Amino acid sequence: MSREKGKQVAVMRNITLKRVVTFLIGLVVLAFGITLNTKTGFGVSPIISVPYCISYITGFELGTMTFLFYLLYVFLQWAMLGKDFEKQQFLQIFVSMVTSFFIGLFNVIVPDAKGMTYRILFLILAIVLTGIGAAVTVGMRLIANPGDAIAYVVGLKLKKNFGFGKNVFDFTCLAASVIISLLAAGHLVGIGIGTVCSMIFIGRVVAVCGRPVSRLYDWTMNRKPAES
């Protein structure tokens, strides 16, 4: 375990500008994909379904509620990993602020999809962008978005990959949203066919992106893929 930690610390220290910029682009893409899902009219992305549900019920701003839940995800990781949770991962709180800011911004400037064709296109684009954004932010091995970081930890604990962990975490979020909305509002809030499609396919997009993102990481580290 100590040897693995040493490798992780070495990776964190060897930070290049390309790696940081790629990470930030992935973060913006992720936020845009999550927001697009809320604009389809088919239901929101599973990762944001619980804060969206509570935001709808309480009237709190979506970006603020998302940030609070991201904080919760950080402390859940801490509880699940125990001594293996590295202190620099608390920087996910900063990442939470950035992600929540862009979700709030895109939520204001991106219009709702009008017409079935645009709603379907929005949904497909949302799934693809959310999967790519999640894969890139985690794949840069810096500080991941908390929602994806906890999905990674779930996959780790289940001895599976990140894509599988993403599917499990998304399903958990969906189940929690259904329970909360039915108890508090008496009907489903933010849950629809788009939520189910996102739960199924975002994890698969993440899995497909595994090898390309690994090559992208090698590029950001200024080394040849063969060395990885």
pLDDT tens per residue across span 40-89: 989 888 888 899 899 999 988 888 888 899 899 999 999 999 888 888 88
CA atoms of 91 and 224, how far apart (whole Å): 29
- Predicted confidence at residue 7, as pLDDT, reads 47
User: CB 62: neighbour CB atoms within 10 A?
Assistant: 21
Whether residue 224 is predicted with pLDDT greater than 90 in this model: the reply is no
User: CA-based angle 48:121:126, to the nearest 5?
Assistant: 25
Q: What pLDDT digit, counting tens, does each position of 105-131 carry?
A: 998 899 999 999 999 999 999 999 999
- Predicted confidence at residue 3, as pLDDT, reads 47
- Predicted confidence at residue 125, as pLDDT, reads 95
- Predicted confidence at residue 121, as pLDDT, reads 94
Q: How far is CA 18 from CA 11, 102, 148, 167, 221, in A?
A: 14, 21, 21, 29, 8
- Predicted confidence at residue 13, as pLDDT, reads 56
- Predicted confidence at residue 134, as pLDDT, reads 87
Beta strands in 27-179 (DSSP E): none
Which residue matches tokens 């329970």? 179
- The letter for the amino acid at 186 is G
User: CB 106: neighbour CB atoms within 10 A?
Assistant: 19
User: CB 210: neighbour CB atoms within 10 A?
Assistant: 14
- Predicted confidence at residue 63, as pLDDT, reads 80
Task: Count CA atoms within 13 Å of residue 104 on its CB side.
Answer: 15
CA atoms of 7 and 131, how far apart (whole Å): 26
CA atoms of 215 and 225, how far apart (whole Å): 6
Residue 156 C-alpha from the chain's centroid: 16
- Predicted confidence at residue 164, as pLDDT, reads 84
Q: 177: pLDDT confidence band, cut at 50, 70 and 90?
A: very high
Residue 53 token pair: 């549900």
Whether residue 193 is predicted with pLDDT greater than 50 in this model: the reply is yes
Higher-confidence position of 125 and 14: 125
Three-state DSSP class for residue 68: helix
Q: What pLDDT digit, counting tens, does each position of 129-171 carry?
A: 999 998 998 888 888 788 888 988 998 899 888 778 888 898 8
Whether residue 200 is predicted with pLDDT greater than 50 in this model: the reply is yes
